[in-house]
């Protein structure tokens, strides 16, 4: 008898793109958790020095007199994470075009809840760190880790209604969009205009590819790679290139799905006109017809959908785990842990991710529903929204990413930030999960 993990049981019968999306996020969350634990073990073991030196090893790319030199840590954060941001861009675009954000009546609640969930944590952090050296870290507690948050919710299975899952997905997508805007506007080095203009020109070329109906992936990849480099040289964080490139990827098929049916029937009729040879081999014309059918199937899909589907696995199993391994490993001195947590940076992040997210998500949602600006998700209760608000306090991936940008060159502040992120994310995730599992199911509106 084959055994299934809880999340595998929930997805044995996946079929829709949305279910595939949830499955991918759940897988990411599980792998991310394992790699985070491994990073913490390595950082607090006799291998800690080797672990640290490995990620500070430099990798150089040289062409003639031109050279690009970065540590493995920076290549992961500036290079591989651009692919992660590319997926975020594709997810945002899909949600706006055909997902939960495409219907304003459905989208209004997660949109305003996400905005509240970004503003309140930033305000609380800023209040605690006013006049302190860590004041620039106000963007750290704004972020929600979509993979961890969705993983926790999906593992609850039928204990939560489907509408609550879609509410969290839409909220997390809006939250990701907000994080991208904050990074681009407030966590950018001195801007060099020439590379920035070249990056803008690259984006226009990508748009032109889209408008001319180019569906091949390679041209977008080549120009997108140049755009990433120009963005890196401009001072704007290079990962933003991933989001921008995603917006240019075609989301419309070459021909309407209904045409696939007609064209396929015509080709199958031609296929049947050729008798199978005595050795059971197909006629050469039949092979050509089958290739044509396959080509038509590819054309009825979209490059954006194909890329989102194809990239989720390598991102879930390679990029995000590498990011966690490179960034989550902090050497913890348990004797001084208490004093670190009460540092303004750590305390601001903990208060922001827990208190700020609950006030922002739950508080704003409650107010919007009471004022009849928005409706409660179908079959959901306010008690369940309260639990989801805690899951929104799982910052992790994006919070760590912003912390590295906010406190660049300040290892002590980065350490305090990571302690705060890990502590808040752990508490928020566990509290939100157990609330939804044991408390919210008995609550009534």
279: pLDDT strictly greater than 60: no
Contact 328, 355 (CB under 8 A): no
* Residue 168 CB-density burial (10 A; 0-12 exposed, 13-18 middle, 19+ buried): buried
Q: What is the mean pLDDT of residues 257-278?
A: 66
Q: What is the mean pLDDT of residues 224-251?
A: 89
Question: Which of 119-133, 223-237, 286-300 is most confident?
Answer: 119-133
- 71's enclosing H/E stretch is strand 66-71
pLDDT higher at 352 or 62? 352
pLDDT higher at 6 or 409? 409
Separation of alpha carbons 31 and 25, rounded Å: 10
Task: Give residue 300's pLDDT band: very low, low, confident or very high (50, 70, 90).
Answer: low
Task: Give residue 443's pLDDT band: very low, low, confident or very high (50, 70, 90).
Answer: very low
What are the E-state strand segments in 212-265?
A: none
Task: Report the range of poorest mean pLDDT among 295-304, 335-344, 396-405.
Answer: 295-304
13: pLDDT strictly greater than 80: no
Q: What is the mean pLDDT of residues 64-73?
A: 81
pLDDT, the chain, mean = 84
Contact 86, 310 (CB under 8 A): no
pLDDT higher at 440 or 23? 440
DSSP string, 251-303: -S-SS-HHHHHHHHHHHHHHHHTSPPPTTSPPPHHHHHHHHHHHHHHHHHS-H
Separation of alpha carbons 177 and 125, rounded Å: 20
* Residue 372 CB-density burial (10 A; 0-12 exposed, 13-18 middle, 19+ buried): exposed
Contacts of 47-55 with CB under 8 Å at 24 or more apart are 48/329, 48/331, 51/329, 52/329, 55/326
Q: What is the mean pLDDT of residues 117-140?
A: 96
* Residue 227 CB-density burial (10 A; 0-12 exposed, 13-18 middle, 19+ buried): buried
pLDDT higher at 104 or 27? 104
Separation of alpha carbons 360 and 291, rounded Å: 53
For residue 150, the model assigns a pLDDT of 81
Q: What is the mean pLDDT of residues 225-234?
A: 91
Can you say how many angstroms the Cα of residue 362 is from the centroid of all Cα atoms in its chain? 22
Q: What is the mean pLDDT of residues 415-444?
A: 87
Reduce the DSSP state of residue 69 to 3 states and report it.
Answer: strand
For residue 269, the model assigns a pLDDT of 65
pLDDT higher at 100 or 234? 234
Radius of gyration over every alpha carbon of the chain, rounded to an integer in angstroms: 24
Task: Give residue 234's pLDDT band: very low, low, confident or very high (50, 70, 90).
Answer: confident
253: pLDDT strictly greater than 80: no
For residue 445, the model assigns a pLDDT of 42
Question: Which of 16-30, 78-92, 111-125 is most confident?
Answer: 111-125
Task: Give residue 276's pLDDT band: very low, low, confident or very high (50, 70, 90).
Answer: low
Q: What is the mean pLDDT of residues 65-73?
A: 82
Question: Which of 149-163, 164-178, 280-294 is most confident?
Answer: 164-178
For residue 271, the model assigns a pLDDT of 66
Kindly report the three-state secondary structure assignment for every residue of 57-68: CEEEEEECCEEE
* Residue 342 CB-density burial (10 A; 0-12 exposed, 13-18 middle, 19+ buried): exposed
67: pLDDT strictly greater than 60: yes
402: pLDDT strictly greater than 80: yes
Q: Report the percentage of the chain scoring pLDDT > 90.
A: 38
Q: What is the mean pLDDT of residues 145-152?
A: 81
Separation of alpha carbons 198 and 223, rounded Å: 11
pLDDT higher at 353 or 215? 353
Task: Report the range of poorest mean pLDDT among 98-112, 168-182, 260-274, 419-433.
Answer: 260-274
424: pLDDT strictly greater than 90: yes
For residue 280, the model assigns a pLDDT of 58
How does pLDDT run across 163-199, given as a tens digit for each residue? 888 888 889 888 888 888 898 888 876 788 899 899 9
121: pLDDT strictly greater than 90: yes
Separation of alpha carbons 141 and 351, rounded Å: 9
Q: Locate all alpha helices (DSSP H) within 274-375, ordered by sequence.
A: 284-300, 303-314, 320-327, 337-341, 344-351, 357, 364-370
Non-local CB neighbours of 311 within 8 Å, separated by 6+ positions: 83, 86, 87
For residue 145, the model assigns a pLDDT of 85
């Amino acid at each position: 008898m084959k055994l299934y993990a809880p999340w595998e049981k929930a997805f044995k019968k996946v079929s829709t793109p949305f279910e595939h999306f949830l499955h991918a996020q759940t897988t990411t969350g599980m792998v991310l958790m394992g790699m985070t634990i491994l990073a913490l073990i390595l950082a607090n073991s006799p291998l800690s020095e080797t672990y640290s030196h490995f990620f500070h090893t430099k990798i150089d790319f040289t062409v003639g007199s031109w050279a690009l030199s970065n540590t493995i840590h920076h290549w992961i954060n500036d290079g591989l994470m651009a692919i992660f941001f590319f997926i975020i861009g594709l997810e945002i675009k899909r949600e706006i075009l055909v997902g939960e954000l495409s219907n304003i009546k459905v989208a209004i609640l997660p949109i305003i809840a996400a905005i509240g969930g970004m503003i309140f944590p930033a305000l609380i952090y800023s209040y605690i760190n006013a006049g302190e050296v860590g004041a620039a870290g106000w963007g750290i507690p704004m972020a929600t880790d979509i993979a961890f948050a969705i993983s926790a919710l999906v593992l609850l299975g039928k204990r939560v209604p489907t509408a609550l899952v879609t509410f969290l997905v839409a909220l997390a997508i809006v939250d990701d969009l907000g994080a991208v805007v904050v990074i681009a506007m407030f966590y950018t080095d001195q801007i060099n205009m020439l590379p920035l203009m070249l990056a803008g020109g690259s984006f226009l070329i990508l748009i032109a590819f889209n408008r001319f109906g180019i569906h091949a992936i390679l041209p977008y990849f080549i120009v997108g790679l140049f755009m990433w480099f120009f963005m890196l040289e401009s001072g704007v964080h290079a990962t933003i290139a991933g989001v921008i490139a995603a917006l240019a990827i075609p989301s419309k098929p070459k021909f309407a799905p209904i045409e696939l049916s007609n064209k396929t029937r015509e080709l199958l009729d031609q296929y049947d006109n050729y008798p199978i040879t005595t050795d059971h081999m197909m006629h050469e014309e039949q092979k050509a017809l089958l290739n044509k059918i396959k080509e038509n199937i590819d054309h009825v899909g979209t490059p954006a959908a194909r890329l989102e589907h194809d990239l989720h696995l390598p991102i879930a199993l390679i990029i995000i785990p590498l990011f966690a391994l490179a960034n989550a490993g902090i050497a913890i001195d348990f004797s001084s842990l208490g004093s670190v947590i009460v540092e303004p940076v750590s305390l601001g992040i903990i208060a922001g991710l827990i208190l700020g997210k609950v006030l922002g998500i739950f508080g704003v949602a409650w107010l919007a529903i009471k004022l009849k600006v928005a409706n409660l998700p179908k079959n959901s209760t306010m008690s369940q929204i309260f639990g989801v608000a805690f899951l929104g306090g799982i910052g992790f991936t994006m919070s760590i990413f912003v912390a590295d940008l906010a406190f660049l060159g300040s290892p002590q502040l980065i350490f305090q930030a990571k302690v705060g992120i890990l502590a808040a994310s752990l508490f928020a995730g566990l509290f939100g999960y157990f609330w939804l599992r044991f408390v919210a199911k008995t609550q009534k509106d």
